Amino acid sequence: MSGPGGQVIEPRTRTARDAARARLRARVARRWMATVTTYFWIACGSALGGMSRFWCSGFVAKRFGGTFPWGTMLVNVVGSFIIGFFATLTGPDGRLLVSPNARQFVMVGICGGYTTFSSFSLQTLSLLRDEEWLLAGLNIVLSVVLCMLSVWLGHVAASNLNELQGA
């Protein structure tokens, strides 16, 4: 189609198609930014959790010695309490409404960076290789039992807080 002076005029469908593509590109860009933002908050939480783990494990090792991995156990027990408490407090029936990014910052980022199942496994392997059978078994049993107890206590504490009236 030609207009005055020989200018080419595109059919209307072309403009509608361009607008649809622009909307699609904008939607994809928003999703991409939301994903990048989520990863950013998880990375920040992981850094905070990792630094906290490093400090806490070192503090406990200096106070109680490094023969038995008390620092790793303490970190895992405390982390289990925190994730149990926060998951319940901010869950669908929880008292505190937070964004999905805030939940991921705490539960995936901070707790993921703070708790140390890989360290637990390596330290237990080291105890086994040193033929410290009793200490290795104690580490396994205490870690599992105390972490399960701790995550349950966090859940119970947040459930009780959720049921409080007037706040």
> How many Å apart are CA 73 and CA 68, to the nearest integer?
9
pLDDT tens for each residue of 49-93:
999 999 999 999 999 988 888 998 999 999 999 999 999 999 998
Residues making up the binding site? 112, 115
Q: Binding site for Na(+), residues?
A: 112, 115
Say how many domains are in the chain. 1
Q: How far is CA 110 from CA 44, 45, 61, 103, 106, in A?
A: 8, 4, 21, 10, 5
Range of the domain at 147: 37-163
Report yes or no on 22 lying in a domain. Answer: no
d(CA 43, CA 48): 9
Question: pTM for this one?
Answer: 0.73
pLDDT in tens, 98-120: 999 999 999 999 999 998 787 78
Is residue 30 domain-resident? no
Classify 2 as helix, strand or coil.
Answer: strand
Assess if residue 84 is contained within a domain: yes
In a domain, 18, yes or no: no
